[in-house]
Each structure stands twice: as structure tokens, then as C-alpha cells.
Structure 1
């Protein structure tokens, strides 16, 4: 005996996004009130003297005052020279001044595990063998 479905699953279109976001927001905020009304993007690029992009950081502060860092990149020639730490401290300072109380991010063991540990982040979880032979690591740092 099979149950007949009264719904379909389709590829999400741009016009569907708002309904989905509003739906989860309504559910979440009925349980834990938001501390901020909107996502505040914090996205910065570092350029050399010629105006060429040599690094950048993409993140933002969410409704419960958490800084979420989605991506940090430094051009190979500028790695291990302090630019990554400078970008990280820059976004953390702005987030802290905006009311953030914590920073969260993830990386892989072949990317920047030691870098984040050196910058005061603590491992809060990991997924082993993803990708195969490696691990994905989740970090957090509380602001004092």
C-alpha cells in the first residue's frame, strides 16, 4: 500500500526564497526572539598598491548577534605575512562594535586549521573523512 502525496518538490526559484526564509524566521523567532532585525553583511577586500585583489573576507552578523564568517581568502604570495590575521581581526572588531558576542566558521584540515587556532578560535566539532581522507572543522570564538 502506497500513500498518495499531496505535494510536489520543485527546483527553488528566486521568488520562492522569501517565503522559505520568512517561514523559518517565524518558527525560530517564536521560540527565541531576535536580537537584531536583519542580517548585516560584513564583506571586505584587501588590495595591493596597484589595486589588485590580494585577499578578502565574507561574513556577517545575524539576528542573534553572531558573526558568521563564510570565507576568508589570501592570495598565495601574501600568505604567512599577517594579512589573513589582519582581515580576521578587522571583521571581528566591526562585528563586536555591532553587538556580536561570538564568531563562528568552518574550514578543512588542508586549509587553515592552525591559522584559526592561532587566532583564538576553538574547535567545537568536526566531520571526519569529508572529503575522503580529510576533515571539516567547525570553530567558535567568544568575544569578551
Structure 2
């Protein structure tokens, strides 16, 4: 190993170099179906225009919907808002060509919610955080509009 190698904090330019490096490698193995990350960022508002929930994610290079955050204000939980946000993002992604959705949650967050919405657990990380687990889910996307 080269003794002259250093480890340093990245700036934006370096982050782009790292992203470009992994993308170049990945695309040499499996060609991208999309050349860009397509953000999917939607919010729910109440009658007074207060944000009461939202979903943040996007469609990646191989046309998979990657959900990073889904949140509904505690006062509005159990009223179907999370399901509406999730289905809206899934439908939007499916229209753009996504065939699968993926996400993770913790056992104290929304494990049952995702199962109820058709997601299948594909992996778990026990003891993270301590006394809990992180669960990874996926779902094949189909057109849900009636």
C-alpha cells in the first residue's frame, strides 16, 4: 500500500468525482436505463396549506423507485395520508418506467404500514439501533389506478 495516501473530508467537487467513479464502474457492468436521477418529492398539505406529510425519493439509473423518507405529522397518522403519498409516488415512478420500489424503515417506525401497502421484507439489520432493527423492503410496481 502507498504510504503517501491520505484520507480527507470531501468538498462538492470531490463528491462528484466519487459519484462519477462508481457510476462509471456500475455502467460498465450493467448499462443504465436512465442517464439521470429523477427526484420524486411530494408533500401533503391541510386546508390551511400547512405541510402535514411528504415523501422524498427518486428513480435511479436502473429505473427503480428509491424511497428515502416518508413522513406524516403525528396528528394526521392513520387517516390514509401516508398511503396516498406512497401510491402517488409509486404511480408516478411506474409511469416513468420503474418496475420496483425499495426502501428501509425501523421496527419503531412503519414496518406494518409498508407490509399493508404490499411491500415484502428482503432483509434486516438486528440491533440497529440498539434494541431495534432496520428492515429493508421491496415491491414490484404495477399500475394501481382504477
What is the TM-score of this pair, normalised by structure 1?
0.96
Total equivalences in the alignment: 142
How far did residue 4 of structure 1 move?
A: 5.3
Return 4-13 or 27-36, whichever deviates more: 4-13
Give the CA deviation at 1:131. Answer: 0.6
Residue in 2 that maps onto 1:104? 102
Q: Deviations over 1:23-53 (max 9, x none)?
A: 0111000000000000000001111111101
Q: Does 1:22 align with 2:23?
A: no
* Residue ranges of structure 2 left out of the alignment (5+ in a row): none
Q: CA RMSD in A?
A: 0.9
Separation (CA, whole Å) in 2 of partners of 1:5 and 1:49? 62
| Residue 31 of structure 2, aligned match among 28, 33, 36 | 33
- CA–CA separation in structure 2 for the residues paired with 1:64 and 1:4: 36
Looking at structure 1, the residues matched to 81 and 36 of structure 2 have their Cα atoms a distance apart, in angstroms, of 29
Identify which of 93, 96, 103 aligns with 1:95. 93
Shift of 1:6: 2.5
CA distance in 2: counterparts of 1:45 and 1:103, whole angstroms: 19
Partner of residue 82, structure 2: 84
Superposition map of 1:1-144 within 5 A: 5-144=3-142
Give unmatched runs, 5+ long, in structure 1. Answer: none
CA distance in 1 between counterparts of 2:92 and 2:141 reads 12
